[in-house]
């Protein structure tokens, strides 16, 4: 059964999402050639704890860091390391979550390191557009498959592929709740979307084929063909007036001010 959130819980998740969005902005400023993924992780954990929250990922199923740092052909779950330095032309996916007041929020973004090729810029733009396309479908009365199909169609019509093995999910009282949200699917299929659902919509888009594998560390997922991968994610509440993005807060945002599509 898909859990529904109260209006009060959605407001708390918005506050949590604003914390995450602020941390992401700080991380973006730090992403430069020569910085280590360990330094990014340290900043992320310190910032989350200073805000009165706790990292959602640290200790989850044995994961030992606060931030997932996935570089280039790494899809998701890359582990921060003191020996891993970013280089000019890389792309890095930053995936982070927190828990505060008993509720979780989750988001991810992929950013360039220094200057990147125009072709890679376009790949990142399309990958983020696939997230936006999915969010547009998150309205009462639509079905889960409408979100999945919109993501898939946006990626594939531009010559890219979506990862099949890793998916979005409900979020709130637990980090991962029902429903499972594939990044591929058929319109007008799956559960009917209702007011009160909060969904972590998170396309993982590959520049090449969709096949992935897990490295020997047991966490890091990479593309089988070695091509680049991008990951974008927002926590989104379904409301009577449409999708409410809880992890993309306007500057100086106040209660109820989160972006709507």
> What is the pLDDT tens value at each position of the chain, 261 positions in all?
899 999 999 999 999 999 999 999 999 999 999 999 999 999 999 999 999 999 999 999 999 999 999 999 999 999 999 999 999 999 999 999 999 999 999 999 999 999 999 999 999 999 999 999 999 999 999 999 999 999 999 999 999 999 999 999 999 999 999 999 999 999 999 999 999 999 999 999 999 999 999 999 999 999 999 999 999 999 999 999 999 999 987 544 444 454 444
DSSP-assigned letter for residue 64 = -
257 in any annotated domain: no
Tell me, yes or no, whether 68 lies in a domain.
Answer: yes
| Gap between the Cα atoms of 257 and 261, Å rounded | 12
Instruction: Give the helix ranges, DSSP H, for the chain.
Output: 7-30, 37-50, 118-136, 144-156
Is 173 a member of any domain? yes
Would you say residue 221 lies in a domain? yes
pLDDT value at residue 260: 46
Question: How, if at all, do strands 212-214 and 161-162 pair?
Answer: unpaired
**Cα distance between the two ends of the chain:** 26
Give the predicted TM-score (pTM) of the model.
Answer: 0.94
Distance CA 188, CA 199 (A): 17
Q: Which CATH number characterizes residue 63's domain?
A: 3.90.230.10
| Helix, strand, coil percent content, the chain, rounded in steps of 5 | 30, 25, 45
As for how many domains the chain has, the answer is 1
Range of the domain at 177: 7-245
Annotate 68-126 with DSSP letters as a single string: EEEETTEEE-PPP-TT-B--TT-EEEEEEEEEETTEEEEEEEEEESSS--HHHHHHHHH
Residue 123 lies in a domain: yes
Crossing angle of the two packed helices 37-50 and 7-30, in degrees rounded to 10? 140
Buried b / exposed e across 199-233, counting CB within 10 Å, b at 16+?
bbbbbbbbbbebebeeeeeebbbbbeeebbbbbbb
């Amino acid at each position: 059964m898909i859990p529904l959130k109260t209006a009060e819980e959605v407001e708390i998740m918005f506050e949590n999402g604003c914390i995450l969005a602020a941390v992401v902005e700080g991380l973006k400023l730090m992403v430069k050639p020569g910085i280590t993924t360990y330094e990014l992780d340290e900043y992320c954990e310190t910032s989350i704890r200073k805000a009165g929250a706790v990292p959602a990922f640290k200790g989850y199923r044995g994961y030992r860091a606060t931030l997932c740092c996935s570089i280039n052909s790494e899809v998701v779950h890359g582990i921060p390391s003191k020996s891993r330095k970013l280089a000019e032309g890389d792309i890095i996916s930053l995936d982070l979550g927190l828990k505060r007041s008993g509720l979780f929020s989750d988001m991810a973004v992929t950013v360039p390191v220094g200057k990147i090729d125009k072709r890679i810029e376009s790949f990142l733009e399309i990958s983020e557009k696939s997230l936006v396309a999915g969010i547009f479908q998150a309205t009462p009365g639509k079905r889960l498959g409408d979100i999945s199909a919109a993501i898939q169609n946006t990626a594939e019509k531009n010559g890219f592929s979506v990862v099949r093995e890793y998916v979005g999910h409900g979020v709130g009282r637990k980090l991962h709740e029902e429903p499972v949200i594939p990044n591929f699917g058929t319109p007008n299929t799956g559960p009917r979307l209702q007011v009160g659902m909060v969904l972590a919509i998170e396309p993982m888009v590959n520049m090449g084929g969709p096949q992935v594998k897990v490295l020997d560390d047991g966490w890091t997922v990479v593309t089988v063909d070695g091509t680049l991968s991008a990951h974008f994610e927002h926590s989104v509440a379904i409301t009577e007036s449409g999708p409410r993005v809880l992890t993309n807060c306007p500057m100086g945002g106040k209660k109820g001010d989160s972006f709507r599509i």
